[in-house]
Amino acid sequence: MTVALVPAAGRGERLGSAGPKAMVFLHGLPLVAHAVRGLLAAGCVRHVVVAAPSSHQAEMIAALSAFDRVSVVPGGADRTASVRLALHAALEHVPDARIVLVHDAARAFTPPALVRSVTEAVAAGAPAVIPVLPVTDTVKRVDGAGVVLDTPDRTHLRAVQTPQGFDVDVLRRAYEAASGTVATDDAGLVERIGVPVHTVPGDVAAMKITTPFDLAVAEAVFAP
């Protein structure tokens, strides 16, 4: 049994919107509704819990009212706190869940096939699974003044997407060990407890909508 968590309680400042990024509309629906629709369309997700900003609970509940098997909880002070709260709520809804997916609302057009591929890899025995793409740009590490320190070998770099999939006990342990740390990525917390994180091929359609440019690209590419 698989549950999915969508931490969507951020303010979305980089997108320049007045409200939360997850509530930015594209083709008639907010990003969070597109993301939830993709998760449920995969056919393997039993329940989705969305962590919403406490200031926008009612708005997000209304935006997701068309979907069964979705609940909305108030998010926490940071992403890690929001995931922790959503995980707790998800396991109350589906106590026998064995697999947990954590998915960015901003990856609104993630293909259902990618959701299935991550879930299947966890079901096949991997404790943690992330979708990745090769990095096409050369990447530099820089110091505080912007001066280049070095150039990591690109062949070993991957850009990470979501949904990230976990055995429920592994994610729980990672979050217990993470008290006080704020992670940008759930797999990062799993790495810290020494559990191997596996990869599956990502999909360009799972792009993260972060900037107004990304929003314009998504609007053009994912036109209904």
Site map 175..214 versus ligand C5P, x via CB under 6 A: ---------x------------------------------
Quick note: the x/- pattern for ligand C5P over 73-112, rule CB under 6 A, is --xxxxx--x---------------------xxx------
Q: Minimum distance from CB of 184 to ligand C5P (Å)? A: 6
Bridge partners (DSSP) of residue 128 are 166
Q: Does 34 bind ligand C5P (CB under 6 A)?
A: no
Strands 164-167 and 99-102: antiparallel
159: three-class secondary structure by DSSP: strand
CA–CA separation, 163 and 52 (whole Å): 18
Closest CB 37 distance from ligand C5P, rounded Å: 16
Size of the site for ligand C5P (CB under 6 A): 16
Stretch that binds ligand C5P, among 5-13, 39-47, 154-162, 212-220 (CB under 6 A): 5-13
Nearer to ligand C5P by Cβ, of 17 and 199: the residue is 17
Closest CA to 108 of 37, 212, 187: 37
* Backbone dihedral region for residue 85 (phi beyond 0: left; psi -120 to 50: alpha; all else: beta): alpha
| CA gap 56, 200 in Å, rounded | 34
* 7 or 38: CB nearest ligand C5P: 7
- Which tokens belong to 87? 């995980």
Q: Restricting to residues 120-179, which ones interact with ligand C5P according to CB under 6 A?
A: none
Helix (H) or strand (E) holding 96: none
- Chain residues binding ligand C5P by CB under 6 A are 7-10, 22, 51, 75-79, 82, 104-106, 184
